[in-house]
Chain A
Amino acid sequence: MDPIDVHLLRELERGLPVVPSPFEEIGKRLGLNGDEVLERIRHLKESGIIRKFRARIDQRKVGIIANALVAWKPAGAGNGDLGKLLAAFPSVTHCYERRPVPGRWEYTYYTVHHDYSKEQVLDDVKAVAEQIGGPEYLILFSTREFKRVPNVRMRENGGGVP
Chain B
Amino acid sequence: MSGSSLPVLDQTDLAILNALQDDLPLVSRPWKAIADRVGITETEILSRTKMLEIAGIIRGISPILESRHLGLHAATLVALHVPEERVDEIAAVISSYAEVSHNFQRDHYYALWFTVAAQNGEGIQKVLDEILKRTGIPAADVLDLPTMKKIKIDVRFSFLPAQSREISDGSD
Interface on A for B, CB 8 Å cutoff? Answer: 9, 12-16, 18-24, 34-35, 38, 41-42, 44-45, 47-65, 67, 69, 83-84, 86-87, 92-101, 104-105, 109-110, 114, 116, 138, 140-154, 156-161
Bound CA–CA A64/B62 (angstroms): 22
Residue of A nearest to B108 (CB): A140
Number of A-B contacts (CB under 8 A): 265
- CA A146 to CA B88, docked complex, whole Å: 9
Give the number of residues in B that approach A within 8 Å (Cβ atoms): 86
Q: How far is the CB of B76 from chain A (nearest CB, A)?
A: 8
Residue of A whose beta carbon sits closest to that of B65? A152
Chain B residues with Cβ below 8 Å from A116 are 163, 165
Query: A48-B69, A49-B69, A94-B155 are known contacts. Are A60 and B172 too (CB-CB below 8 A)?
Result: yes
Q: Could you give 12 example pairs across A and B, Cβ below 8 Å?
A: A12-B62, A14-B60, A22-B30, A35-B28, A53-B63, A54-B23, A69-B104, A93-B154, A144-B105, A147-B95, A148-B102, A159-B67
The chain A residue with its CB closest to the CB of B60 is: A15
B107 engages A58 (CB within 8 Å)? no
B residues less than 8 Å from A98 (CB atoms): 76-77, 145-148
The 8 Å CB contact of B65, one of A34, A50, A60, is A50
The residues of B that contact A35 with a CB separation of less than 8 Å are 28
CB pair B151–A97 under 8 Å, yes or no, is yes
A19 vs B61: C-alpha distance in the bound complex, in angstroms?
13
Question: Which residues from chain A contact B137 at a C-beta distance below 8 Å?
Answer: none
- Say whether B100 faces chain A, with CB atoms less than 8 Å apart: yes
Give the distance in Å from the alpha carbon of A13 to the alpha carbon of B102 in the complex.
18
Q: How far is the CA of A35 from the CA of B26 in the complex (A)?
A: 10
Interface residue B59 (Cβ < 8 Å from any Cβ of A):
yes
Which chain A residues border B17 with CB–CB below 8 Å? 55, 57, 62
Of the residues B1, B58, B66, contact of A55 by C-beta under 8 Å:
B58
Q: How far is the CB of B133 from chain A (nearest CB, A)?
A: 20
**A158-B71 contact, Cβ under 8 Å, with A63-B168, A92-B152, A141-B107:** yes
**Min CB–CB distance A73 → chain B (angstroms):** 13
A62 close to B157 (CB less than 8 A): yes
